[in-house]
């Protein structure tokens, strides 16, 4: 059982991380409303999502490492403050430019994920770490579902600015409680922040994710897309070289090479592709007018309600995984979660003519997300040194995001490859897209099967690494 202080700490972590997760999907259904209210184009309004994605991708691993070095609580409070400021700025934004800047500031809150996992590892009793991480992962996963469900009613009852006012109030209170009641973690990394590595990491992430998110409007063969992707390769190579030579690497590459880490990250990349693509395109599918030969012409609110089984299943599966993990192991839960995602996407490709079929498939996918999210976090936390928890979990979240960008880009290419005279996509674009997502989730399940079953190999690998490089010592928790 958690004591009172641990329960309060968990409530703070869950609120902050849950709100940030919700902000990822809360704005997407309201983009047409924002576009109209701020008198901008559709292409420009998509930067409201792109700016948030890029900012979170940059700040998540960097601030995760900063938290490992200077203190997780201090860094978390700063991230909560930034998220609050970003929400206030977005609510008051007079034009689309200010709103995009506000979303960049909000993206700093991405650091809440790795920092929260690190605080749980440092502060909670050993026997409660895995269940607490599973419960937090359930909240994070459900947060994305809450965003999809809540956006329509909030915009309908109030207006789009309340998509930012409400989170601002919640996060501001959370930051004050965290400042007063969350203890500072005792485990600290050594050295300093490798800012050259941070710049290179930021560079290759932006150069990779920006063309993936904008390829549909820019064109896959355009000079901007090809040039940025080539730059991403060059910057990634330079980052690997710089990190390998640094005495204070931002992310210790030896940790990323651990068998349990690289196999989990591979599964995260593939499963993230399926998860984010389903989140992005399933609501649009059900909102398609039935005159197109498919779809149900649902409103934003109606589409959100069809996603409700996914939301409920995500949360329940995430909480349940904390009870199952000590019995069956995180590896089996990750494999099962990815396999359920493959089953769900295959169902969507084959059976999508009735609303109940969509609801059932969404529920199954929610079960998969709940199991996979929790088990990924547990596998990373269990298999990296305490001083690398923030950086390693931050990188895992980033790899999931990169996979999500790849999945969304592939789905976009298939759905928009050919359009009906009405301008709506053909049904085959969706069916082929869902079939591809099923294959990606199946590949994630196969990658999960490669995760080592125990920690002995990991401890041995880290110990050997310590002997080879004592000046860059990595202390493994037994």
Q: Identify the pLDDT of residue 475.
A: 39
Q: Tell which wins on pLDDT, 338 or 390.
A: 338
Q: Tell me the pTM.
A: 0.80
One domain, residues 377 and 446: yes
Which of 184, 207, 237 is at the close of a domain?
184
Would you give the DSSP letter of residue 257?
T
Q: Tell which wins on pLDDT, 60 or 79.
A: 79
Would you give the DSSP letter of residue 419?
B
Q: Identify the pLDDT of residue 437.
A: 95
One domain, residues 323 and 415: yes
Residue 456 pLDDT more than 50?
Answer: no
Structural domain contains residue 189:
no
One domain, residues 113 and 205: no
Structural domain contains residue 118:
yes
Q: Tell which wins on pLDDT, 465 or 34.
A: 34
Closest CA to 337 of 452, 447, 259: 447
One domain, residues 21 and 137: yes
Tokens at 299, concatenated: 């409103």
Q: How far apart are CA 286 and CA 356, in angstroms?
A: 11
> Angle CA(451)–CA(435)–CA(151) in degrees, nearest 5?
90
Of 26-30, 69-73, 177-181, 387-391, least confident by mean pLDDT is: 387-391
* pLDDT band (50, 70, 90) for residue 191: low
One domain, residues 332 and 448: yes
Longest dimension (CA), the chain: 67
One domain, residues 422 and 304: yes
Residue 44 pLDDT more than 90?
Answer: no
Structural domain contains residue 151:
yes
Which are the contacts of 391, defined by CB distance < 8 A and separation ≥ 6? 61, 64, 65, 68, 114, 250, 251, 252, 255
How much is the average pLDDT of 208-223?
82
The CATH number covering residue 363 comes to: 1.20.1250.20
Which are the contacts of 411, defined by CB distance < 8 A and separation ≥ 6? 277, 280, 281, 433, 436, 437
Structural domain contains residue 34:
yes
Structural domain contains residue 321:
yes
How much is the average pLDDT of 289-298?
87
Cα dist from 416 to 261, 300, 410, 424, 439, whole Å: 36, 21, 10, 9, 20
Domain that holds residue 76: 1-184
Q: Identify the pLDDT of residue 476.
A: 38
Local structure of 425: helix, strand or coil:
strand
Residue 474 pLDDT more than 50?
Answer: no
Computed on alpha carbons and rounded to an integer, the radius of gyration of the chain in Å comes to 21
Q: Identify the pLDDT of residue 307.
A: 83
Q: How far apart are CA 141 and CA 373, in angstroms?
A: 7
One domain, residues 241 and 280: no
One domain, residues 84 and 97: yes
One domain, residues 198 and 164: no
One domain, residues 216 and 339: no
Residue 39 CB neighbours (<10 A): 8
One domain, residues 390 and 259: yes
For residues 105, 106, 112, 115, the Cα torsion angle rounded to the nearest 10 degrees is: -10
Q: How far apart are CA 363 and CA 439, in angstroms?
A: 19
How much is the average pLDDT of 105-114?
90
Domain count, the chain: 3
Tokens at 129, concatenated: 């770490």
Q: Identify the pLDDT of residue 165.
A: 95
What pLDDT digit, counting tens, does each position of 398-450 carry?
888 888 878 888 888 888 776 778 778 889 989 999 999 999 999 999 999 99
Tokens at 105, concatenated: 């500031």
Which of 184, 210, 237 is at the close of a domain?
184
Q: Identify the pLDDT of residue 2.
A: 67
Residue 188 pLDDT more than 70?
Answer: no
Structural domain contains residue 51:
yes
One domain, residues 303 and 393: yes
Q: How far apart are CA 313 and CA 370, in angstroms?
A: 7
């Amino acid at each position: 059982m958690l004591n009172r202080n641990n329960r309060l700490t968990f409530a703070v972590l869950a609120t902050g991380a849950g709100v940030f997760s919700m902000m990822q999907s809360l704005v997407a259904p309201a983009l047409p409303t924002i576009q109209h209210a701020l008198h901008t184009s559709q292409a420009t309004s998509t930067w409201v999502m792109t700016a948030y994605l890029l900012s979170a991708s940059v700040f998540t691993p960097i601030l995760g490492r900063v938290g490992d070095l200077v203190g997780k609580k201090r860094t978390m409070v700063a991230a909560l403050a930034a998220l609050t400021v970003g929400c206030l700025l977005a609510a008051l934004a007079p034009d689309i430019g200010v709103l995009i800047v506000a979303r960049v500031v909000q993206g700093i809150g991405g650091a809440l994920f790795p920092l929260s996992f690190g605080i749980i590892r440092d502060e909670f009793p050993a026997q409660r770490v895995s269940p607490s991480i599973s419960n937090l992962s359930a909240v994070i996963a459900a947060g994305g579902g809450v965003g999809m469900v809540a956006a329509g009613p909030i915009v309908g009852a109030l207006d789009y600015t309340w998509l930012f006012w409400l989170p601002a109030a919640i996060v501001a209170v959370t930051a004050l409680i965290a400042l007063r009641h969350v203890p500072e973690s005792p485990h600290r990394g050594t050295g300093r922040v490798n800012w050259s590595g941070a710049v290179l990491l930021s560079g290759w992430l932006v150069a990779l994710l920006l063309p993936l998110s904008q390829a549909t409007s820019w064109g896959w063969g355009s000079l901007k897309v090809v040039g940025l992707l080539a730059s991403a390769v060059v910057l990634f190579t330079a980052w690997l070289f710089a990190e390998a030579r640094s005495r204070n690497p931002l992310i210790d590459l030896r940790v990323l090479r651990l068998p349990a880490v690289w196999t989990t990250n591979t599964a995260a990349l593939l499963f993230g592709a399926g998860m984010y693509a389903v989140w992005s395109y399933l609501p649009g599918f059900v909102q398609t007018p039935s005159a197109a030969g498919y779809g149900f012409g649902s409103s934003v609110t109606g589409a959100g309600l069809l996603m409700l089984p996914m939301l409920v299943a995500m949360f329940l599966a995430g909480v349940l995984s904390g009870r199952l993990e000590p019995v069956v192991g995180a590896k089996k839960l990750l494999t099962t979660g990815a396999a359920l995602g493959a089953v769900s996407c295959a169902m969507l490709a084959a059976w999508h003519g009735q609303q109940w079929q969509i609801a059932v498939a969404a529920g199954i996918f929610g079960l998969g997300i709940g199991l996979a999210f929790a088990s990924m976090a547990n596998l990373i936390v269990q298999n990296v040194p305490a001083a690398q928890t923030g950086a390693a979990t931050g990188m895992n979240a980033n790899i999931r995001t990169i996979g999500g960008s790849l999945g969304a880009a592939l789905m976009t290419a298939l759905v928009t490859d050919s359009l009906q005279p009405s301008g709506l996509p053909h049904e085959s674009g969706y069916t082929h897209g869902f079939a591809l997502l099923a294959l990606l989730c199946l590949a994630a399940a196969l990658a999960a099967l490669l995760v080592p079953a125990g920690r002995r190999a990991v401890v041995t690998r880290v110990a050997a690494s310590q002997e080879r490089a004592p000046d860059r010592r990595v202390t493994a928790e037994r």
